[in-house]
Amino acid sequence: MLVNVDGEEREVEVGYIKQIKQDSVVFISNEKEIEIKAEPNILDQIADIYADDDEALIPLDTHKKEIILNSNPLY
């Protein structure tokens, strides 16, 4: 999926939250696990999202190993 992140086009995948750890999140994306380190404020946001919807899809930049929470889809 192509998205705009702070004015930059980025190719992202989406993943389900599998586990929230102390300093990272484990996602399931394309039937494989990917663990991404995150700052405490991102971990808090992910925990809130997971509490609201445990099947939420989260955009991920798997090449840069980043969680993308501020993006707009490009068509």
Residue 47 phi/psi, 5-degree rounding, is -60, -40
Q: How many CA atoms lie within 13 A of 26 on its CB side?
A: 8
Q: How confident is the model at residue 6 (pLDDT cuts 50, 70, 90)?
A: confident
Instruction: Record the tokens describing residue 33, joined without a space.
Output: 């696990």
What are 23-70's pLDDT values in tens digits? Answer: 999 999 999 999 999 999 999 999 999 999 999 999 999 989 999 998
Q: Where are the domains of the chain?
A: 2-69
In angstroms, rounded to a whole number, what is the distance separating the alpha carbons of residues 48 and 40? Answer: 12
